[in-house]
Amino acid sequence: MNHAITLKFAALFLFSAGGAAAELNFDKPPSLAEIIETAKAAPAVPASPQKAVKEWTILVYMNGKNDLYNFALNDLNEMEQAGAPAEANLVVEAGRRAYIPPPPVSGNPFGIPNFPGFPGMMTGKAAAPAASWSGIRRYQIRKDSDPSAVTSPVLEEFNADMGDWNHLAEFGLWAKAKFPARRYMLVVWNHGSGWKSVEILPREKGISYDDETRNYISGVQLGQALAKMGGVDVYASDACLMQMAEVAYELRDSAPLIIGSEETEPAEGWAYNYFLEGLAGAQLTPENLAASAVRGFARYYTEKAQKTTISALYTRNLVTLKTLTDQWAALAMTTDRAALKAARNETKTFKDIESKDFIHFLTLTAEKTPSPELKARSRELAAFAASSVLLYNATTGDAYKNAYGLGIYMPYTIPDTGYNALAWAKAGKWFEFVNWIQK
């Protein structure tokens, strides 16, 4: 028994100890002491090199399980056209619903019904339905030169509810484990409607609508998803109407920088090739990622002569913004209501008519209120939002010259009771103010 074990050790060192093993005498099995000495003399086997941790992992949660399913292929190809920066991983979870021929709609070149609350969105160039797969695929994006096919490796393929905030969190945790980095950026790609329902479709609240499950992620749930995945350094909504104070406030503890649009986006959304190309050679700071996203979006829609908005903001001063806003609202409710209504009615409004530009409203209030104190407070609050919250703002088209980058809920009628679920509305004065102004 011991002899057999000794021979096994001898054979091991014959192959692992190089020349030292040649001295082993199989007619006289080596002693245990000799085996140990041989092991000490053996050259160390180098450890497998560990994969270098990159500076960034950029995650894109691309929910095309709805009427945007073919635009998902376009954006994947845009990503492949540019490729990820050398210092970054680019990982995508792309979902697509099965192709269902839609009823024709007059004047729409694709015969796709406009989403309620999103008219005119489906006017971009969509991929042909022939490039068809459904379900969910997770990709690590690789650069290629074929604009007609997605060639990046598929890491996983399955199906799930992309309108479930827990699944968004699971994607984030999976990507962080598989592609660890020093910093993370998350883009959520889909329809969006800020914090609330849009027009006549009650389920349209928040972001990431899955038509297969008829589920979506609310503003509160978006904050929960980011918290559950451990937060990110930059969060972006490639979706409509999401750059609102109420949405940003839900994410304040999980994303230092937020990118989004006050207005509806065209269905093509971001030009990902422009975003990624803008990072080439740049120092990959959170601010530079945000700058490239804003500039790339504005450049693309300037070239197409389409009217859009996009901005980037810091969340670190949102608590102060809320405190100042509550103080402002308490003062405003002691002044002339008619002047404030006039300011509200003239404030820049977006596709959701109850979402208005906050800075424009404050600017108009300063012009219209007879109260000297409210004039001063309005100017101070507008200046704080512009200088201490907003980082970048870009608009294309004269229609948005009064869109300064931050929307806020300001209805014309009694506010939606669901507003009270938001952290911005809890223990604050804004909900009280929007009720007061209706009277």
Q: Residue 45 has which token pair?
A: 């086997």
40, pLDDT greater than 60? no
pLDDT value at position 34? Answer: 56
Q: Residues 107, 113, 117, CA angle at the centre, nearest 5°?
A: 105
Give percent of the chain above pLDDT 90.
69
- 234-238 vs 257-260, strand pairing mode: parallel
Contact between residue 131 and residue 119 where contact means Cβ atoms under 8 Å apart: no
C-alpha pair distances (Å), 404 with each of 252, 351, 355: 20, 16, 13
Q: Which tens digits make up the pLDDT trace of 378-405?
A: 999 999 999 999 999 999 999 999 999 9
SS3 content of the chain, % helix, strand, coil (to 5): 40, 20, 40
Could you tell me the residue ranges of all domains in the chain? 2-41, 55-316, 320-436
pLDDT value at position 102? Answer: 54
Q: Which residue has the tokens 């740049």?
A: 282
Q: Residue 18: what residue type? A: G
Domain 55-316: assigned CATH number: 3.40.1190
Q: Residue 304 has which token pair?
A: 């197409």
Distance of alpha carbon 103 from its chain centroid, rounded?
Answer: 31
DSSP 68-116: THHHHHHHHHHHHHH---TTEEEEEEEEEPPP-PPPP-TT-TT-PPPPT
Q: Which tens digits make up the pLDDT trace of 282-292?
A: 999 999 999 99
State the pLDDT confidence band at 66, using cuts at 50, 70 and 90. Answer: confident
Helices 165-178 and 219-228 sit at what angle, rounded to 10 degrees? 30
Contact between residue 411 and residue 434 where contact means Cβ atoms under 8 Å apart: yes
Q: Which tens digits make up the pLDDT trace of 269-315?
A: 999 999 999 999 899 999 999 999 999 999 999 999 999 999 999 99
pLDDT value at position 39? Answer: 47
Q: Which tens digits make up the pLDDT trace of 315-325?
A: 999 999 999 99
CA torsion through residues 190, 195, 200, 204, sign: positive
Q: Which tens digits make up the pLDDT trace of 222-241?
A: 999 999 999 999 999 999 88
Q: Residue 339 has which token pair?
A: 């002047």
Longest dimension (CA), the chain: 109
Mean pLDDT across 254-272: 96
**Structure letter (DSSP) for residue 244:** B
5's enclosing H/E stretch is helix 2-16
26, pLDDT greater than 60? no
Mean pLDDT across 356-374: 99
177, pLDDT greater than 80? yes
H helices present in 198-317, as ranges: 219-228, 245-250, 272-277, 286-303
For 266-296, b/e burial (b = at least 16 CB within 10 A) is bbbbbbbbbbbbbbeeeebebeebbbbbbbb
Rounded CA-CA distance 373/420 in Å is 29
Those residues with Cβ within 8 angstroms of residue 105's Cβ, 6 or more apart along the chain or in another chain: 111, 112, 113, 114
Q: Residue 33 has which token pair?
A: 């002491």
pLDDT value at position 412? Answer: 92
Q: Which tens digits make up the pLDDT trace of 152-167?
A: 999 999 999 999 999 9
64's enclosing H/E stretch is strand 54-64
- 234-238 vs 154-158, strand pairing mode: unpaired
Q: Residue 405 has which token pair?
A: 């980058």
C-alpha pair distances (Å), 49 with each of 45, 46, 52, 95, 179: 12, 8, 9, 34, 16
> For the chain, how far is it from start to end, CA to CA, in angstroms?
96
Mean pLDDT of the chain: 84
Q: Residue 315 has which token pair?
A: 């969340």
Mean pLDDT across 318-339: 98
E strands, 176-280, where? Answer: 181-189, 192-198, 201-210, 215-217, 234-238, 257-260
This prediction has a pTM of 0.82
Rounded CA-CA distance 13/42 in Å is 8
Contact between residue 378 and residue 362 where contact means Cβ atoms under 8 Å apart: yes
C-alpha pair distances (Å), 356 with each of 189, 214, 237, 348, 403: 23, 28, 18, 6, 9
